[in-house]
Structure 1
């Protein structure tokens, strides 16, 4: 009888072994990244650490750790699944992180990676940052449009502890995931999930702060997506011919849903020149983050009240 073929699990014994193996396999497969990592090494490290329930911020202490046979087989299966399915790594492990805060994800929602996460989690809007919000405790109502997994609504509740946060999404399936995240973060008393199309389900409600990371990818770019991005819900990306159709609708309606001292924080991708040319009367204030430049804007209620 011919000997059974050797399994990689027979020879890959440590975290370092599995990391090297994964990086080599990912590089050979020419995967696409961008769902929390930007290269094969970081992707492999995330998969390994998260699947072993280890802290994801530092691989170093674990490199020489020997793994059980079951752990090795589990990791090898995940590595192969990343290649054969082309699913983003967060879908394979059911978890994504923003500023070190974990959120459940699956294919009902886009993988969280909004630049707004950094702005909210670091307090950049407050008096010690840009000063756009003088007193975070004075924010009593907030709205997260296109909430998806609910991550930004939850981060807003953390950043503005006195605020009641409404989180709206058109997708009932996405709100099922958001509901799990709200429960995980014990935010049920602060975050209300609402199904509907932008402002439509909110009546005449007004908010001290509106945040939104709407679909903003141009149709041609969506059509050319690599498999990893195509795995996400198309409606979470598609923003019309130039990507800004939903942003325009938000600009048209936000003024009617802000309090007198309120403001709109919106992520739009790379379309700032289009918006500035189309809305010359609006004094867009562009915010940069560690990974973006002029892809997030702020407008206050007074500016949005000018119909121009």
Structure 2
């Protein structure tokens, strides 16, 4: 990579083709917004030239100026040499059709819960929630997306990370939701005062074995947002034991546990988890009602002893 490439590659198409080839040779892993080398290269280029994805076909043969080429080359190098995911390179990620600021203090949004939000949590909610809590919010994407779908809802978003909440606050301002979305620094429910109609959480749930085998790209993300003990359920066990006390009578809890779903079911064989299916892919998201949480409270609390 260097000056010869700057001179030889002229168009957007040239740079996408060459970048995709370099990414393939470097054996990169894709899982933070794209699933292939071509889209990964295109995403970087479009960000540099400030062009939306839907216009790619219109500008693919446009020639790039030297300054743009230099910036693209530098980002390609960082993607390859440091295995930095593209959203950290650009500082932006998309979730439920909305754009969010992200940085290395926040997990990159990719939860299948986005599909649930876009559908208004149907058919799982009886009525629109007035009070919503997004636990382990990271950049704030789940809570902010929920607020955009339910314009009358008051949404609290919480995280244990001061740095992540600072990013979330920027995203609240970006989407002009300062009056309806409130950030709270809290370890689980420690600083959460109220009760909610809906609690949604994408908590840390990666078990020790999976953590050790994750591609390098995931190790760029904050460990605090990923790992959760030997079986991936340290946080989720605490959540299950305490959630009922923070839900209104008809309240619903929705939690993503990913690959730790099997371990969760094995630990609580009598709990009637509803496992949600997704049209766009994704797994390991369960739903429990407050009534179910209360019914199995003894099981949940016993696992904390």
Q: Give the TM interval when normalised to the shorter protein.
A: over 0.9
Partner of 2:127: 135
The 10-residue stretch of structure 1 (178-187 or 42-51) with the greater mean CA deviation from structure 2: 42-51
Equivalent residue number for residue 250 of structure 2? 261
Structure 2 partner of 1:243? 232
Distance 1:191 1:164 in 2: 6
Shift of 1:287: 0.8
> Match for residue 303 of structure 2?
none
Match of 1:9 in 2: 6
| Residues 58, 299 of structure 1: alpha-carbon distance in 2 compared, 3 angstrom cutoff | farther
1:27: which partner in 2? Answer: 24
Instruction: Confirm or deny: 8 A CA contact 1:165 1:192 kept in the other structure.
Output: yes
SS in structure 2 at match of 1:298? strand
CA distance in 2, matches of 1:221, 1:270: 9
Distance in 2 separating the partners of 1:264 and 1:105: 26
Alpha carbons 2:112, 2:282 under 8 Å: kept: no
Question: Which residue, out of 267, 271, 277, partners 1:282?
Answer: 271
Q: Does 1:216 align with 2:208?
A: no
Q: d(CA) in 2 for partners of 1:62 and 1:248? A: 50
Partner of 2:114: 117
Give 1:225's match in structure 2, choosing from 188, 200, 214.
214
TM-score relative to the length of structure 2 = 0.93
Greater mean deviation of Cα atoms: 287-296 or 143-152: 287-296
Equivalent pairs counted in the alignment come to: 296
Partner of 2:187: 197
1:115 offset after TM fit, Å?
1.1
Runs of 4+ in 1 over 3 A off after TM superposition: 290-294
Structure 1: runs of 5 or more not aligned: none
Length-normalised TM-score, structure 1: 0.92
Q: Tell me how far 1:85 sits from its aligned partner.
A: 1.6
> Aligned-residue CA RMSD in angstroms?
1.5
